């Protein structure tokens, strides 16, 4: 299974401590994170959690002078890098980051409240906790049903609502 996420899901808003916290993972979980997680950076493209990168500020929806929107620049190379393989792909990226490399076969996860309304404030932290649950599980989830069970074991509510859509209820 591959999990796609933007850089912000690896750290909590306001510097409150990272929900994924790669440095706080066991060596086995860090190895699993490097196998499973693909961080989609607006500046660097596809990264793994252990890739050393400098601090930067560039969002997925940015447009650069003389170059234009990042989505237009990244679409072909990043989509090629993320495509392929038979493993299910769970997409935790926001719309802006998903536009950098659309993957129609990916299952998109949206964070919603118990009444079904979209959650914005705790969205990134919730997705980071979900990614952490996947990489710290006893066994790497190989199917979407297994991913739902892993989330449940971690105290998270993940439900499949359509073929290509899931919701994480917070």
Q: Computed from CA positions of residues 50, 144, 111, 163, in that sequence, does the dihedral angle turn out positive or negative?
A: positive
**Averaged pLDDT score across all residues of the chain:** 88
Q: pLDDT-derived band of residue 16, with 50, 70 and 90 as boundaries? A: very low
Residues 6+ apart with CB under 8 A from 159: 148, 166, 167, 169
> What pLDDT is attached to residue 121?
80
Tokens of 71: 């989505």
Q: Give the pLDDT confidence of 110-164 residue by residue, as tens digits.
A: 999 999 999 988 888 899 999 999 999 999 999 999 999 999 999 999 999 999 9
Work out the angle at residue 109's Cα, subtended by the Cα atoms of residues 13 and 86, and round it to the nearest 5 degrees. Answer: 120
Model-level pTM greater than 0.85? yes
């Amino acid at each position: 299974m591959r999990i796609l996420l933007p850089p912000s899901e690896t750290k909590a808003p306001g510097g409150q401590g990272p929900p994924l916290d790669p440095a706080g993972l066991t060596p086995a979980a860090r190895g699993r994170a490097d196998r499973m997680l693909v961080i989609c950076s607006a500046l660097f493209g596809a990264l793994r959690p252990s890739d050393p990168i400098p601090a930067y500020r560039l969002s997925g929806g940015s447009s650069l002078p003389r170059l234009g929107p990042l989505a237009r620049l990244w679409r072909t190379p990043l989509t090629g890098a993320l495509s392929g393989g038979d493993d299910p792909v769970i997409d935790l990226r926001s719309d802006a980051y998903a536009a950098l490399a659309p993957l129609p076969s990916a299952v998109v996860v949206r964070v919603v409240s118990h009444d079904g309304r979209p959650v914005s404030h705790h969205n990134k932290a919730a997705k980071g906790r979900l990614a952490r649950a996947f990489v710290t599980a006893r066994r790497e989830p190989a199917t979407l049903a297994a991913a739902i069970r892993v989330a449940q074991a971690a105290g998270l509510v993940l439900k499949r609502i359509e073929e290509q859509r899931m919701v994480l209820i917070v």
